[in-house]
C-alpha cells in the first residue's frame, strides 16, 4: 500500500461515516480474494457473486460494528462466509451425479487428481459432506480444507472458538456414522 493510501481501518471508519468512495476502495482492495475464497466453498458462481455483493451491502450498513481489534480482511471474510451460509441454507442441494456418469468420463482425460476429486465430490465422502448442515460444513471446511486453527476459524465464521470445536467434532461424527452406514 502506498504511503498516501488510507488503511483498511481508516476506510472502514469513512464507510461508517457514509463515504461511498471509501466503500468502493474497500471493494476494489478485497473483492477479488473474497470471491476466490467464496468460489472454493461453492461451485455455483452466481451464488458466490451474490454473497460477495451482499457482503459489501452489509459492510455499508454495519461498518460501525467493527471494533477495530482485528484485521479488516478477516472481518470482511466473516461477513462473506455468513452471507454464503445463509444462501446455502435456503438453496436446494444439487442432485448427486450418478456413478455411471462419473465412470463414463474418458479415462484418458482424467489425471490422478481428477480421479481423487471425482471420488471425493461424487463418492461417499462428498455425499456425507453434502448432508451436513451449512454451519457444520463451513466449520469443517475452514479447519480441515483451509487448514485454519480453531481460533482463526472462529474469527472467520464469527462464532466462539468452542462452537467451532463442537461443530467440527459433530461434523466428523455425523460423517463417520454416514460412511459406516454406507459400508454396512
Torsion of CA 35, 143, 59, 49, to 10 degrees: 20
Give 158 or 30, the one with higher predicted confidence.
30
Q: What is the mean pLDDT of residues 7-18?
A: 93
Residue 35 has pLDDT above 60, yes or no: yes
Which among 58, 55, 66, 56 is positioned nearest to 13, based on CA atoms?
A: 66
Residue 19 has pLDDT above 90, yes or no: yes
pLDDT band at 55 (very low <50, low <70, confident <90, very high): very high
pLDDT in tens, 128-167: 777 888 889 888 888 877 667 888 788 778 889 999 999 9
Overall pTM surpassing 0.75 (yes/no)? no
pLDDT in tens, 89-123: 665 544 444 444 445 555 555 555 555 555 555 56
CA distance 157 to 77: 8
Residues of the chain with pLDDT > 70, as a percent, come to: 75
- Count of CB atoms within 10 A of residue 67's CB? 7
Give 124 or 155, the one with higher predicted confidence.
155
Which among 16, 121, 118, 37 is positioned nearest to 84, based on CA atoms?
A: 37
Q: Which domains does the chain have, with CATH numbers?
A: 1-91 (1.10.1740.10)
Burial of 49 (0-12, 13-18, 19+ CB in 10 A): middle
Amino acid at each position: 500500500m502506498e504511503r498516501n493510501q488510507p488503511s483498511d481501518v481508516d476506510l472502514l471508519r469513512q464507510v461508517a461515516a457514509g463515504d461511498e468512495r471509501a466503500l468502493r476502495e474497500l471493494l476494489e482492495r478485497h473483492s477479488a480474494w473474497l470471491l476466490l475464497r467464496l468460489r472454493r466453498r461453492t461451485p455455483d458462481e452466481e451464488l458466490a457473486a451474490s454473497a460477495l455483493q451482499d457482503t459489501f451491502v452489509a459492510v455499508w450498513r454495519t461498518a460501525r460494528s467493527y471494533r477495530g481489534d482485528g484485521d479488516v480482511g478477516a472481518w470482511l471474510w466473516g461477513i462473506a462466509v455468513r452471507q454464503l451460509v445463509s444462501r446455502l441454507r435456503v438453496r436446494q442441494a444439487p442432485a448427486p451425479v450418478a456413478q455411471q456418469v462419473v465412470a463414463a468420463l474418458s479415462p484418458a482425460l482424467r489425471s490422478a487428481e481428477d480421479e481423487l476429486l471425482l471420488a471425493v465430490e461424487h463418492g461417499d465422502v462428498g455425499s456425507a459432506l453434502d448432508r451436513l448442515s451449512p454451519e457444520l460444513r463451513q466449520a469443517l471446511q475452514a479447519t480441515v480444507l483451509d487448514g485454519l486453527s480453531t481460533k482463526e476459524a472462529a474469527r472467520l465464521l464469527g462464532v466462539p472458538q468452542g462452537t467451532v470445536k463442537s461443530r467440527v467434532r459433530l461434523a466428523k461424527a455425523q460423517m463417520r456414522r454416514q460412511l459406516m452406514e454406507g459400508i454396512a
